[in-house]
Amino acid sequence: MARRFALTVVLLGLVAAPAHAAAPASVYDAPGQMHDNACVHLVGPSAALRFADAGPTGFAVTNAFSFDPGQCLGGTVRLDLHELLPSPLGMLVFHRGGNGYLDDGNVKYGELATSDIADPLPATVPSSGGRGAACTLANEQPYQVEVRSITGRMRYKPPPNTGSSFSHYGDPGADQGDRADVHYSYLLWSFVDVRGGGHVRILLRPGQIVRPCDVAPVTMSSWDADGNVNGQVTARYVQTLAGTCPVYGWMVWSHTYTTHAPVAHAIPAPTPPPADPAPDPACPVAAPAAPPQVTTDDAQSAGAGWRLSGSLNPVGTTTSYHFDYGTDPALYGAATPAGSIFGGDDTDAVGGTTAPLAVSTTYHYRLVASNVHGTVYGPDRTFTTSVAVQPAASRVAIARLRVSPSRPHRARSRRRATARIRYRLSKRARVMLTFQRKTIGVKRSDGRCHARPRRHLRHGTPRCVRWVTVRGSLHQSRRAGATAVRFGGWLGRHQLARGRYRVRATARGTGGMRATPRRAGFTLR
């Protein structure tokens, strides 16, 4: 049975959690972070990777690396171009190593000086969704980074994601490759989110000063290769310095593996650190969290319903959306099925289709979008459904009804035909043929022709002709034009007696309009 751990913050007895309500973690750590990859050439054959104060990490990148298909061209390196940091060496840009390089175990993260890059850089795409935004500092003492390893058996996704290990966030400078003497940890734009691992902002060197923010921590369970919970990892949102620039992000604060003692990744600073220097005017400033941006666009008729459209910018955070619609803008009362858009910073067209609507009616509609930063409503718009148009009745006519020959023999089996019942339709219709047999009846005092009694018919009783409907009928769906129906004196399994008959044809066209019935006589021999 998997061992379960309570999702609470463990601060290792070094500092108590804030007694008041801290800012929600989701304000700074909403899922949906996206890399902004840029592939560039180096000025020389290699360049040093650096910490955010321009000090070297001990690792370097070269122009001899190659990539998995579709990542970058050979002879280039890959950046994650969210921001530029000023330094004594000029501007620094973050190099994204690891996954995607064919030699990913030896290709590290870190800052590159733009003077080491031969290509002009495109404009940066700032991280959004509240990631990296300034925070209110907690009423706690400063800490210093304690770079500690996390066992690779602690995974942040259960199987089959066996490579999703927390070890990459403990001591990533030494957990892979051929330089075990170099150690550092990560400051993350966001912690481990639903699309993969955390997204790195800068490297944290051992002993680097961090100041916790007044933000609720994030605590996640870890899994072993069999899917059992085997520990937990806690992250906190902190402020640190990148040269003279204050930067903010998440770092691993502590971890606990099975029954081992908790391991701290930050310890109280032994001496008060100096005051922060005045920031360089070129320091980047991350935007605070913001709700999505929406507009309500046009509507178009789509069969019995309507297709509604709008524009949505999720502002960095995965966002759900739908359209409200109805006859009353105070209530609306109906909504299209919900959709979702990943947390980028582009404005995308979205749409939804209503259920069937009433005719000749004005409807109001609006786009509604929601994420962890709030729910927003697009402006109200209207459309009016069209007047109901009833399909024109299909008037059908039957002509030239006859039995050919007019004196057919009765067939010996119901599958044979000795005659054709012929007619012509003006339009496609459903036709029913019924039959009446001529019999001799007697005329009563009421003037009507009654069935002839089998006995006691008085002499001199006046005779009359009666047409008696025969049980059964023939049905066909026929196209416009001339038609010939095979006939051998049978209706289903019933054989007609010899005698004088007449056939009656009725037809029903589209829209339910009936044709004037037609009759034709014949003699069955």
- What is the DSSP pairing of strand 218-223 with strand 245-257? unpaired
Q: Do 149 and 84 share a structural domain?
A: no
pTM of the full predicted structure?
0.69
Q: Do 138 and 107 share a structural domain?
A: no
Q: Do 255 and 133 share a structural domain?
A: yes
Instruction: Give the pLDDT band of residue 512 (cuts 50, 70, 90).
Output: low
Query: What pLDDT does 130 receive?
Result: 92
Average pLDDT, the chain: 88
Q: Do 262 and 340 share a structural domain?
A: no
Task: Give me the mean pLDDT over the 331-360 stretch.
Answer: 93
Give the separation between CA 241 and CA 13, rounded to whole angstroms: 26
> How many residues are there in the chain?
525
Kindly tell me if the per-residue pLDDT of 194 is higher than 90. Answer: no
The pair of structure tokens assigned to 413 is 């089996």
Query: What pLDDT does 2 receive?
Result: 35
CATH number at residue 403: 2.60.40.2550
Domain membership of residue 371 as a residue range:
293-384
Give the separation between CA 60 and CA 78, rounded to whole angstroms: 13
Give the separation between CA 248 and CA 286, rounded to whole angstroms: 9
Give the separation between CA 482 and CA 173, rounded to whole angstroms: 89
Q: Do 263 and 135 share a structural domain?
A: yes
pLDDT digits (tens, 9 = 90+) for 223-244: 998 899 999 999 999 999 999 9
Mean pLDDT is highest, among 94-108, 205-219, 417-431, for 205-219
Cβ proximity of 317 and 190 under 8 Å: no
Q: Do 141 and 219 share a structural domain?
A: yes
- Interacting residues of 58 by C-beta distance below 8 A, sequence separation 6+: 173, 179, 181, 182
Cβ proximity of 351 and 310 under 8 Å: yes
- Is residue 10, in this structure, part of any structural domain at all? no
Give the separation between CA 493 and CA 483, rounded to whole angstroms: 23
Task: Give me the mean pLDDT over the 267-279 stretch.
Answer: 94
Q: Do 347 and 315 share a structural domain?
A: yes
**DSSP letters spanning 39-57:** EE-BSSSEEEEE-TTS-EE
Q: Do 131 and 111 share a structural domain?
A: no
- Is residue 32, in this structure, part of any structural domain at all? no
Cβ proximity of 72 and 64 under 8 Å: no
pLDDT digits (tens, 9 = 90+) for 135-150: 999 999 999 999 999 9
Query: What pLDDT does 492 receive?
Result: 81
Q: Do 335 and 259 share a structural domain?
A: no
Domain count, the chain: 4
- Is residue 462, in this structure, part of any structural domain at all? yes
Preceding amide of 281 cis, omega within 30: no
- Is residue 279, in this structure, part of any structural domain at all? no
Query: What pLDDT does 142 receive?
Result: 97
Give the separation between CA 364 and CA 383, rounded to whole angstroms: 7
Give the separation between CA 416 and CA 419, rounded to whole angstroms: 9
The CA-to-CA distance between both ends of the chain, in Å, stands at 90
Q: Phi/psi of residue 136, each to 5°?
A: -85, 125
Residue owning tokens 């007619």: 423
Task: Give me the mean pLDDT over the 100-104 stretch.
Answer: 87
Query: Among 116, 138, 171, which residue terminates a domain?
Result: 116
Q: What is residue 114's DSSP assignment?
A: G
